[in-house]
Chain A
Amino acid sequence: MNITHYDACPECDLLLNPNTASVGEKAHCPRCGLLLSRPRKRSVERTFALSIAGFILFFPANLLPMVGITMMGNANTGVLYSGVVALFNNGMVAVATVVFLASILFPLVHIILSLLISGHLYFNYPNRYLAHWMRWMHHLDEWVMLEVYMLSIIVACVKLMSLAKLEFGWGLYAFIALIVVTTLLTGNLDNNLFWQRIHQLSNRDNNAS
């Protein structure tokens, strides 16, 4: 039998009784203080709704102009992906790739994965890839850098403010909304619950067949 009635802390390996934190509570490891779990109300439903919102917002955030600049009578506008293109044309292929992955591809994949996972859980629909998707999403977490990008926009604008006239476009507002949605999304996604539900679904599927 592989089933146990214990839990272990991921960062100090302390053997723990299974956490019984209820919604609104936080469970911390008594030895190292790590936040073990923080159950959320209606986690699956909220994650599903926020993933849909994030997926929709992704497109205006990526396609609409973010910042317009006027300098010495010349005008120029920047879109999220045009920074990648500019770096690429500059010959900085590696840097362009990194920026593309962290600010465009990984955020998109992350949203699609959470949309797929929460959608399947919401409709109680088993899928043998659920565990894989969950693992990929877990590994991508750290490499989605939208909030860092936002801070870079602010710093870049402050740098340019004294030299040029700046205008903010709808792309920027959509981008800010996207960051709010993805932040809420990570806050509402209850990992423990999701894994339990995935396990239940696959067990049910195995028993049925």
Chain B
Amino acid sequence: MQAKANALSQGFIRCHDCGYLVKTVNQPSSCPRCDSHLHARHPHSLQRTTALLLSSFLLYIPANIFPIMIVNQFGAGEPSTIAGGIVELIDAGMIPIGLLVLVASILVPSSKLIGISLLLLCAHFRWQVNARRWTTMYRVIAFVGRWSMLDIFMISILVDLVNFNGVHIIAGPAATAFAAVVILTMFAAENFDPRLLWDNQQNL
């Protein structure tokens, strides 16, 4: 076995679902172990990721400018955006929780959008980079994505609990947009194939 060889260049495909290594000589179309479709790299990885990423960018705008939550107090509605909710928490002296929401609802989604864009550019333009570092970045992006659902779950809890005659909370239109951003970026990360970063490196 040649040192540091790509499985694909040696004629092997790793099943994406079960990890079984299959020889490509007789070109099997499905995995002998789990029966799922075999493909050396995620099919249309860059196109799909780009499409999902662009939709997320578009939805990210309404997610941030429209109110995500409206507090109705005795008939008067007080809408708050994602950023507004964080400012309120920090003003009320709840700094650790405010920072937590800041990380989950603003830093994670925005750095995810930028990070996936960079990964796409890197894979598309075949940048010669430290692939190990970029794969780590990909892993971080894939891992933190789900934590942005924090705000959405919190709204569902608040809408449910604060439902009295005088005061009630309702979800705003930004909630739908924000949930869509979180889900689309999760799909985008899932569709990106980090092996493309390694395929493009000429001197490993």
Contact surface of A with B, Cβ cutoff 8 Å: 1-2, 4, 6-15, 17, 31-34, 67, 69, 71-72, 74, 76, 78, 82-87, 90, 92, 94-96, 98-99, 102-103, 131-132, 134-135, 138, 142-143, 145, 148-149, 151-156, 158-160, 162, 164, 191-192, 195, 198-199
Contact assessment for A78 and B157 in the assembled complex, using a CB-CB cutoff below 8 Å: yes
> In the bound complex, how far is the Cα of B155 from the Cα of A64, in angstroms?
20
- B173 — nearest CB in chain A belongs to which residue? A92
B148 to chain A, nearest CB (A): 9
Number of A-B contacts (CB under 8 A): 203
Given A6-B12, A90-B171, A155-B101, answer yes or no on A98-B195 (Cβ-Cβ < 8 Å). no
Q: What's the least CB distance linking A186 to chain B, in Å?
A: 13
With the chains together, A171 CA to B198 CA distance in Å?
47
In the complex, given contacts A94-B179, A135-B36, what are 13 additional A-B residue pairs having Cβ atoms less than 8 angstroms apart?
Answer: A6-B12, A10-B14, A12-B194, A31-B204, A32-B194, A95-B152, A98-B152, A102-B153, A134-B18, A134-B34, A145-B146, A156-B161, A160-B158
Shortest B189–chain A CB gap in Å is 9
5 A-B contacts, Cβ less than 8 Å apart?
A: A6-B21, A11-B194, A13-B8, A15-B6, A32-B131
How many positions in chain B have a CB within 8 Å of any CB in the partner chain?
73
Chain B residues with CB below 8 A from A34, complex form: 135, 139
